[in-house]
């Protein structure tokens, strides 16, 4: 009993010591680094203020203003109950401008853990705007990234799982990957928002648009969650799962406005892509769940490419998505490559999807071996190009306002033949969060 009391006392003392050691500092672009860093006498630069964050729970508030500097959060470690916090003060918007800082990431969160970076605008990044590297339990939220030569927000590490438990949410990312602007000769193909060799990464409630690379990517990574994001007019695939495993793409709203500035090879980019490109480390796609997404006017709605490594899709579910009018007349709305024996698909199901195509344009180019097709709605496209299955519906889905520019335009109406026409699967809630029950509807909306 005495030993137990000793252990409890040690825990309590450690907790209170940590709480007592937490401090709050302030930065203002009219302050001075000779100041003590209080609200009344703030520091001048973010870089200097960051050096004082040494204990779990330490906080750095940055006042509104423009800071032309590079912010490096290195070897800063909070705890789950007392993260280190770096954020804008009281709703003010601090702007970190990377003009002239050299070929570096404008914000770097490196070799750190339990850090929250919140409420900044990061602009004019000469490389990546916000980089998380060899870091874990990091949250980047409510930031605006505008204009970057390379990636907007990126997480990764030197080895697999060196970066993990990352949350990227409620951010707006625009005009990144400018190395790929028309007429450029890119040396790489970066992404607006992405992770590479990272596990347990969540991309949620972000706006990602008008970027010259891919939108949101999960590359050589496991357990990614890409949900409730809005993406449009990105030059590469809007969402790309490349060598990704055990990952979810759910309830995203994806479209293309027709702005050719962001076309690739003369067409809008695909909506959702799965592939296995070749890297020094391979993590072939498997156990993917792609549900409740609304995708309209993209080049292809969904595509699987063999790419360099191939491998096929395995244990993958593509269900209750709504695809509307794709631009690629050759591949159609859903394009799944097949070929050599190394590219055979297994245990994959495509069901309860709406494929509302342009008149006279093909629905699909895809195999049936290794893939179960059922209870899909095929409407308005070229007859004979759909992949037929049990329970299919081939009449007008009677959407609320087909062709509109908001997610609600793709809801079912009360007389839709898709109401209660589907089958059950892992998509237990619809795009709007409504719990499905009874006989499920086809598409992203449960009427």
In terms of residues, how long is the chain? Answer: 447
- Look up residue 330 and give its two tokens: 């050759």
- 171-211 pLDDT, tens digit per residue, is 999 999 999 997 766 666 899 999 999 999 999 999 999 99
Question: Could you tell me what percent of the chain has a pLDDT over 70?
Answer: 93
- Calpha distance 381→80 (Å, rounded): 52
Burial of 384 (0-12, 13-18, 19+ CB in 10 A): exposed
Q: Which pLDDT value is given to residue 89?
A: 98
CA dihedral 11, 15, 16, 20 (to 10 degrees): 150
How do strand 239-250 and strand 214-227 relate by DSSP bridges? parallel
- Calpha distance 440→295 (Å, rounded): 20
Q: Which pLDDT value is given to residue 55?
A: 98
- Look up residue 190 and give its two tokens: 């970066």
Q: Which pLDDT value is given to residue 426?
A: 97
Report the SS3 class of residue 408.
helix
In the sheet that holds 65-67, the strands lie side by side as 65-67, 94-97, 121-125, 144-148, 172-174, 207-209, 230-232, 253-255, 294-296, 322-324, 354-356, 377-379
Q: Taking a C-beta distance cutoff of 8 angstroms, is the pair 425, 352 a contact?
A: yes
N-term to C-term CA, the chain: 60
Supply φ then ψ for residue 10, to 5 degrees. Answer: -65, -40
Q: How many CB atoms lie within 10 A of CB 390?
A: 10
Q: Which pLDDT value is given to residue 47?
A: 98
What DSSP state is assigned to residue 355? E
Tell me the pLDDT of the chain averaged across its residues: 93
- 68-99 pLDDT, tens digit per residue, is 999 999 999 999 999 999 999 999 999 999 99
Q: Which pLDDT value is given to residue 340?
A: 58
Which DSSP helix (H) or strand (E) runs through 327?
none
- Calpha distance 314→337 (Å, rounded): 14
- 232-289 pLDDT, tens digit per residue, is 999 999 999 999 999 999 999 999 999 999 999 899 999 999 999 999 999 999 999 9
Report the SS3 class of residue 394.
coil
DSSP string covering 240-288, please?
A: EEEEEEEEEEES-EEE----GGG-BTTBPPPSEEEE----SS----EEE
Q: Taking a C-beta distance cutoff of 8 angstroms, is the pair 295, 324 a contact?
A: yes
Q: Which pLDDT value is given to residue 295?
A: 98
Q: How far is CA 295 from CA 217, 240, 327, in A?
A: 17, 14, 12
Q: Which pLDDT value is given to residue 62?
A: 98
- Cβ neighbors of 125 (< 8 A, separation 6 or more) are 98, 105, 106, 145, 147, 148, 149, 150, 176
Paired with 245 in beta bridges are 222, 286
Which residues in the chain land under pLDDT 70?
1-20, 184-188, 339-343
Burial of 81 (0-12, 13-18, 19+ CB in 10 A): exposed
């Amino acid at each position: 009993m005495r030993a137990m009391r000793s252990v409890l006392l040690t825990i309590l003392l450690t907790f209170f010591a940590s709480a007592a050691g937490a401090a709050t500092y302030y930065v203002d672009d009219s302050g001075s680094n000779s100041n003590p860093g209080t609200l009344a006498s703030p520091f001048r630069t973010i870089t200097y203020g960051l050096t004082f964050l040494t204990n779990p729970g330490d906080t750095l508030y940055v006042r509104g203003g423009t800071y032309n500097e590079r912010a490096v959060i290195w070897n800063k470690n909070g705890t789950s109950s007392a993260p280190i916090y770096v954020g804008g003060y009281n709703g003010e918007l601090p702007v970190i401008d990377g003009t002239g800082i050299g070929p570096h990431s404008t914000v770097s969160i490196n070799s750190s853990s339990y850090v929250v970076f919140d409420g900044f605008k990061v602009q004019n990044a000469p490389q990546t705007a916000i980089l998380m590297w060899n870091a874990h339990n990091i949250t980047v939220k409510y930031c605006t990234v505008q204009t970057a030569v390379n990636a907007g927000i990126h997480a990764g590490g030197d080895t697999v799982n060196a970066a993990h438990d990352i949350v990227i949410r409620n951010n707006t990312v625009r005009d990144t990957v400018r190395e790929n602007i028309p007429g450029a000769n890119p040396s790489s193909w970066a992404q607006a928002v992405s992770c590479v060799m990272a596990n347990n990464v969540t991309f949620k409630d972000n706006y990602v648009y008008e970027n010259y690379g891919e939108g949101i990517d999960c590359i050589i990574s496991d357990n990614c969650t890409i949900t409730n994001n809005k993406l449009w007019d990105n030059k590469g695939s809007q969402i790309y799962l490349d060598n990704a495993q055990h990952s979810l793409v759910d309830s995203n709203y994806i479209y293309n406005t027709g702005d050719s500035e962001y076309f690739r090879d003369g067409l809008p980019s695909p909506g959702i892509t799965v592939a296995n490109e070749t890297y020094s480390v391979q993590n072939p796609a498997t156990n993917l769940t792609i549900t409740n997404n609304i995708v309209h006017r993209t080049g292809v709605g969904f595509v699987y490419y063999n790419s360099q490594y191939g491998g096929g899709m395995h244990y993958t579910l593509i269900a209750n998505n709504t695809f509307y009018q794709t631009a690629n007349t050759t591949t159609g709305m859903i394009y799944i490559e097949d070929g050599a024996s190394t590219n055979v698909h297994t245990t994959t199901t495509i069901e309860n999807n709406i494929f509302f195509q342009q008149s006279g344009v093909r629905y699909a180019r895809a195999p049936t071996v290794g893939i179960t097709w059922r209870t899909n709605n095929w409407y308005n496209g070229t007859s004979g190009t759909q992949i037929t299955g049990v329970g299919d519906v081939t009449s007008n889905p009677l959407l609320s306002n087909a062709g509109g520019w908001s997610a609600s335009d793709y809801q079912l109406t009360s007389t839709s033949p898709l109401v209660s026409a589907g089958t059950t699967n892992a998509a237990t809630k619809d795009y709007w969060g409504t719990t499905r029950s009874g006989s499920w509807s086809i598409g992203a909306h449960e009427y």
